[in-house]
Amino acid sequence: MEDQAVCCYRHPQRETGISCTRCERPICPECMISASVGFQCPECVSGRASVGSGASAAGPPPRAAQPRTLAGGTMASDPRLITKILVAINIAVWLAALSVGDRLVNDLDLVGRAYDPGTVQIVGVAEGQWWRLVTSVFLHQQLMHIAFNMLSLWWIGGPLEAALGRVRFIVLYALSGLGGSALSYLLAAQNQPSLGASGAIFGLLGATAVLMRRLNYDMRPVIALLALNLLFTFTWSGIAWQAHVGGLVAGTVVAYGMVHAPREKRALVQRGTCVLVLLAIVAMVWIRTVQLTG
């Protein structure tokens, strides 16, 4: 007879392997609040867990510690707010590109250094147009491209945002996107344009693998998904594999620093990890710029 799956007591549809250290009820990443030992559920932290549910009668006072996420972030009432905003921004830019046409795409996509017949000028990141490293991450043209990326962002981003907190999730997404842009700028042909949120999405996928490993979840689903995406990356034509790999590496490193930072040095380790990744991004951009303009 197979064992019945254990699910979060607040979200019965979510399987989990983590339990509250006070009341011992199963909790998912969205409900986990970091404690001095293990994790606690929101009710135990606020002191509202009832004795009948198996919680200790001597709970902490209602104004005890502010609930924190696994990575030390503040628990939010809407754990998907940043994910929703990112999806909205991507869709808004896509609609703008559809209405304005190729001119907007040519101004915002990622290109190292190339001749633009529309402006009769040399354009690109090497020409001082640094914004392309950022704007290209929010730019899409084909419907299937943005549909796939936004579905992936919604599916992967929500649980990550809940587990990390809003600020850390924003930093993770930003550095993943920049990491993908920087590696693409460094290795791709200088006149090869690229666009899309795929680099940032791959960063979130790498972060998901790190988080699942940290929580001792079954790694096979995320490894299979990652392997499938990498297979598509290197076998389908027209895909900027540099952006995918750059985002994946950046997101994995940032997430590892966030969820594995020791509690007593959490801020130092998390900030240090993000600064190191940012410095690596800046170094790649500087090296390529010197190559193209030197």
Residue 215 burial by CB count (10 A; 0-12/13-18/19+): exposed, middle or buried? middle
The catalytically annotated residue of 140, 198, 237, 260 is: 198
- Residue 244 is among the residues annotated as catalytic for this protein: yes
Tokens of 159: 């649980």
The catalytically annotated residue of 136, 176, 194, 244 is: 244
Amino acid at 207: A
Kindly list the distances between the CA atom of residue 118 and the CA atoms of 122, 149, 192, in Å, as whole numbers in the listed order.
10, 29, 16
Angle at CA 8, nearest 5°, toward 204 and 44?
Answer: 105
**Contact in structure between 158 and 207 (CB atoms under 8 Å):** no
Whole-angstrom distance, CA of residue 141 vs CA of residue 164? 31
Q: Which of 139, 73, 68 is nearest to 103 (CA)?
A: 139
Catalytic residues: 198, 244
